Every structure is written in C-alpha cells, then in structure tokens.
Amino acid sequence: TDCAAEAIRQVCKEVEGVCVGAGTVYTPAQAHEALDGGADFIVSPGFDAAVARACRARGALYLPGVITPTEVMMVSSRYKLQYLKFFPASNFGGAGTLKSYQAIFQNIKFMPTGGVTEQNISEYTSLKNVFAAGGSWFVSDALIAKGSSSGDWSEVTSAAAAASKAAKGS
C-alpha cells in the first residue's frame, strides 16, 4: 500500500522489541525502502532473483512464495534459501501438501499464507516444517480503521491474541 513504508518506519520507531516484515514486495526498490525503514524481513508472493540478491546484500531474511517441488528445489539449491512462504496454501493442498514436503525437503521450513484461518491454523503450525503461518482474518479493515480513528487498539490486540492461541492449538 501507499502508506507501507511510513507504517514500517513508525512501528520500528515507536514499538520496542517488535519484529517487522514487509509483504507483497515485488522489486528490489521496494525491498530497500522497507529495509531502510527498519523492516527485519521481506515477503513476496513469488520468487524474484533481484529481490533475493538485494536481501542477501542487506543481510535480511527473504521469504519468497513457492508452491511446487520445482520451485522449492530451485530457490533452495540456487539461492540457498531455507525459509519459504507457501502461497496460496489452501489452493494447493494446504497442510497436506506441506506434510508431504516434510520427507523430501528436510532442511526447508515454510510459512503458509493464503486461506489460513483461525479454524485451520493449528493444522499448519503443528507440522515440523512450518515455522510460522500468516493470515489476515484478525486484522480486518474495519478493526484497523476503528483502532486508527479512536487510538484504541484493544480489539486488534484481542484478535491477535486469539490468533496466537489458535496457532498453538489451544
């Protein structure tokens, strides 16, 4: 979004101890802008070699989106990436596909996004090859708008706590 760079800068400046990532990054320029603002890692819907090189040069974690075994093999062997975004997870077999990948990609860890919900997140996070999972259900536009206008972020905080609890399977 247009305000992403400013939001990253503001969160990094005002919130102590937070790990900030920038998502839907397509270009090296976007990656540099996010990293200049304080982002700790970069996430893309797919793989881009130039973004991978930019992140490597900056010492930043790059999580490109992959789906197929060929994509996983390419980014892990050619670019030495071991942490990958599995996107869109629900459209391509979800937790079942990642469970199958455990045996053949033993050194690769995934972050599924796309179709991850409060109801199914623990199916993903219970897998040994999943290090994180992403979803937007707990940060709806309405909750963000309400928190932004009122300064009261308690509903977003509560929704995030519920998402964390669901991810832990409790």
Residue 12 pLDDT: 93
pLDDT digits (tens, 9 = 90+) for 140-165: 889 989 998 999 999 999 999 999 99
Residue 97 pLDDT: 98
Determine the Cα–Cα distance for residues 2 and 144; give it in Å rounded to an integer.
16
pTM recorded for the entire structure: 0.92
Strands (E), 20-118: 21-22, 41-44, 61-66, 83-86, 109-112
pLDDT digits (tens, 9 = 90+) for 93-106: 999 999 999 999 99
In the chain (170 residues long), the average pLDDT of successive 10-residue segments reads 89 92 97 97 98 98 98 97 98 98 97 96 97 90 91 92 91
Q: Is the peptide bond preceding residue 88 cis, with omega within 30 degrees of 0?
A: yes
